[in-house]
Structures are given as C-alpha cells and as structure tokens.
Amino acid sequence: MSPIIGIDLGTTYSCIAYLNGNKPEVIPNLDGHLVTPSAVSFTADGQILVGNVAQRQAVANPERTVTAVKRLIGRKFDSPEVEEAKKRVPYRLVPASNGDVMIAIDNQIISPQEISSLILSYLKACAEAYLGERINEAVITVPAHFNDHQRQATKDAAYIAGLEVLRVINEPTAASLAFGLEANKNCTVAVFDMGGGTFDITILEIQDGIFHVLSTNGDTYLGGEDFDNRIVAWLLDEFKKESGLDLSADKFSLQRIREAAERAKRELSFVLETEINLPFIAIDETGSKHIFKKLSRAKLEDLTRDLIWKTIPLIEQALADARLSPKNIDEVILVGGQTRMPYLRQVIAEFFNQEPRTGIDPDLIVAMGAAVQSGIIKGQITDLALLLDVTPFSLGIETENDGYQVIIEKNTTIPTRKTMAFTTVEHNQVRVRIHVLEGENPLASQNKSLGWFDLIGLEPAPAGVPQIDVTFEIDADGLLRVSAREAATGREQSMEIHYAAGLSRGEVAALKERHRPFALPGKK
C-alpha cells in the first residue's frame, strides 16, 4: 500500500509529512526545506514555478506571482475579505460569472483552486521523490473556521492535483493529534492557531485516545500577513514623511518593502531591534532614495497590539461554548508561525495563567498531525482511536418574513444528521424553495447563503397542512448535504452544497484532465 501523506496547505507556507513507523516525519521539499512557500509564479515564457523559486520571483515579477491564495479560496469577489485583499496583493483579482473571486494573469483567468492545485501537485512530487513511491492519497488540513465552500474548494484543488482526500481535518485538531501522540495523557487542551492568514481557537478533550472537540471559534482573515501589512504601512508612511514620495502604488517597490517587513518581523522574535535597509527604493529629480529604518520589538508591539487582542473575545466565546474557563485548561498548544512573537505568547500565557507548550515546531505540527490521522485511517496507530470534530457554524434554512431556522447548531459533533418538519405558508402551494444558510444571525438576510433548491409537485392543500421534512447531513470532512421530502407524495429533492459556489463538477473534471503533474528534475 502506498503511503498516505498529511498536508498542511498554508497561507504563507505549506508542509507535508508521513508516518514513519508510528511517528510522524516531515518531508523536505525539493530544495531541502521543511516548509514550502505557498507561492506560484507565471513567467513571461510560459513556465509555472512553485515554492521557493516562485517566492524569489515575487520582487521581479509581482503581477504574475500569486501568494496568500488561501485567503481567497471559496470566497465571493464582493466579500469584505476580497475587497481588503485587492488593496494588498500585486496581482489582479476579477469576478467569475457566478460571483466568485478569480485571479487574472496576463490573459489567463485562474481560480484559487487551480493555484492551490499547483502547490499541492508540487508537494505531491516532493513526497514521491523523498519516498520513492507514487502518492495518490492524502489527509489535508483546513482552518477550523473554514466554511463549507472553502472546504469543498480545498478538496477540489486536491482532486485537480491528482490526490484523493481521505479526510479533511481542522488544523487545530491536527495539531492536537500530534501533541496527543507525543504527550500520551488525558487532558483538556486549548489550541491557539495563528498562521499567515487565519486564526482559530479550538477547545478539546483528550480521553483514552478519543479526541473530542468541544468548541471552535476564529477568524479566517486574521494572521501573520496582517502583522506584515502594519509594518509595510509604517515604512510607507515614514518614507513619505522623509522624501515626499508615495510608494503605495509602485508594485515592485511595494514587494521589496513587504519582503523586508516579513524578515524584520521574524527577526524581532529573537532580537530586540533590527534594521530595514532597502537601497535605491525610488528616484526623483534630486537622486536615488533609500529606506533605512530601525524597528524595535516594542514598536512592532505598538503597531500590532490590537491584532493580538482581537483574538481574546474569540477565545472567551470558545471557552463559553465549551462551558469552561481558563482554569479548566490543562495544556495550551501554539500553532502557526505568528505564534513565535514574544508579546503574543505573553498575552496568551497571561490569559490562561500558564506557559504554552513549545516542544513541537509550530510550523510543522499541523502536517505532523495530518500524518497521524493517516496512520489512524490505515490502522498503523491504534492508541489514538477516534476523532470527534465539530461544525464551526450554525446551519439552517430561511423561513417567512426573513426568518432563519437553525437545524444544526454550531459546535455540533460531526458527522451528524438532523431532520426538522416544516409546512407551507400559502394555500395550494405546489412548490417550496429551500434556501440553505450558514451563520448565527436570527435574520436570514444577515447570514451566508450556501445555495437553494425547489421541491416541486406538492399536492394542493391549505396552508399549514403539508409536512415537509428537511434533513441536514454533515460528513466527517464538515461538508453539507441537504434534502427535503414531502410526506404525502413522497417527493424528494436534495443538493450537495458544492454547487452553490465555486467550480462545477464539470469544471473540476476538465481542470484535472488538463492538469500537468509537477515534473521532477531529470524526469520527463
């Protein structure tokens, strides 16, 4: 049996691992690094570059180099998150015919799923080169607060890349699996996960090999990139004050500044002050202009303090949903590169009144946990017997007068299935529209629409007489299927919410057919 790989498909960096014996082991990429930049670059001569080599193209080729695509996957073009991204990314974003966000590279229109599939294809090739075997199956992680569209889009990306996804697992839960294998004890755990683009907080119990998620909360647009953006804004402002020049529209200079900002942020996790030195960043009639600034750890904390404190209400809500308080938490696990920031660690330590666990590299722990899950699936690991995750959002349907009836409440253990009875609101109705929603607001219009379908052919009857049973089913990957059945006639209609947004089944199949696997060096 060929190995199953675990993949942490990250906003800024991605990582792959497999189970070596009974222990997870991280697989280096083709450049020998344990993490791979989640970057794809399209060169003028038609080449597609992925990973470290793509990242190196970002300054010289910013409009054709796509990074942070995880922040776009499964989103609508007119969403607030995409509106914010349009101000930041150097490449062009355009709307698809169904309203999804797409990426424009020269004359090509490319979906976020396609970009992600290129990254996954590269990771697959790295694993095959390292293990010397074909890889066809994977466990892939997603942020716990990813919605149904984002999860399905991630699975589509894997399918295009030639990978069968055996399980989609939440990133904090994956981290807890790696921790649980290492710690081998019963405890209540809080997983604080902040990577490049997303933040999750998950509360779970580990009891005799059963991992039971109690609650989850988070923000799919809060992460390390936002910290970088604060440094970038500060540098642009300082440079404008000193030189009178505004570089905010200069994509080449902006990319240099962005890379310098990320380096400085990383360095300030280990030193109290660092220098940002960017010679020849601009030129005017008086000559060349340079950026030379010292950035202290204290200044970085001032610039980003509010981003860290935005996590606290989300942590408090997760604890409240789990009916726990900080004193009930036995272990705090930090996940994601941004958690290396000393001030962030200090805030979390003070909130939980304990030092977080730092024994496993926060950049690697999620992929390692995905590899552990692969071992559970294959039967290699029997000590960790069961993973019980939850749905991060409430799910229901629209009712009359903009009402919203929740059918499955958030933090319900999955997989799950629930049926609720409804009826007609008008006399002699022969058609009922089932509008599926996701969210917590009592008004239907204030929640996210996942899609709709019509149940037709009802027998004419007075309002309130027909019984229409609506069933919601969520599988272990967190993906939703909805069906409706009218009791008198037995007529039934159903939908997988996949079709409400994203690529159609036909589009995904066509992309897979056209997809070229990443070519290993020396192989055709």
Percent helix / strand / coil, the chain, rounded to 5: 35, 35, 35
The secondary structure of 46-101, three-state, reads CCEEECHHHHCCCCCCHHHEEECHHHCCCCECCCHHHHHHHHHCCCEEEECCCCEE
d(CA 236, CA 293): 11
* Catalytic annotation, pick one of 100, 128, 148, 193: 193
Q: Is 219 a catalytic residue?
A: no
Q: How far apart are CA 145 and CA 129, in angstroms?
A: 33
Q: Which entry of 100, 148, 156, 171 is annotated as an active-site residue? A: 171
Q: Residue 240: helix, strand or coil by DSSP?
A: helix
Give the tokens for residue 131. 């293990």
CA distance 7 to 121: 11
Instruction: Identify whether 273 is a catalytic site residue.
Output: no
What is d(CA 27, CA 121) in angstroms, rounded to the nearest whole number? 14
Give residue 247's region: left, alpha or beta (phi > 0; psi -120 to 50).
Answer: alpha
Alpha-carbon gap, residue 208 to 180, rounded angstroms: 10
Alpha-carbon distance of 92 to 94, in angstroms, equals 7
Cis peptide before 415 (omega within 30 of 0): yes
User: Beta strand 386-390 with 210-219: parallel, antiparallel or unpaired?
Assistant: parallel
DSSP one-letter string for 329-395: -SEEEEESGGGG-HHHHHHHHHHHTSPPB-SS-TTTHHHHHHHHHHHHHHTS--SS-EEEEE-SS-E
280 DSSP 8-state letter: E
Cβ distance 357 to 331 under 8 Å? yes
Is 193 marked active-site? yes
Q: Are 157 and 117 in contact (CB under 8 A)?
A: yes
β-strand pairing of 403-408 with 395-399:
antiparallel
The closest alpha carbon to 437, from 428, 429, 446, 426, belongs to 446
- 8 has catalytic annotation: yes
Which one of the listed residues 70, 76, 293, 410 is annotated catalytic?
A: 70
Question: Which are the catalytic amino acids?
Answer: 8, 70, 171, 193
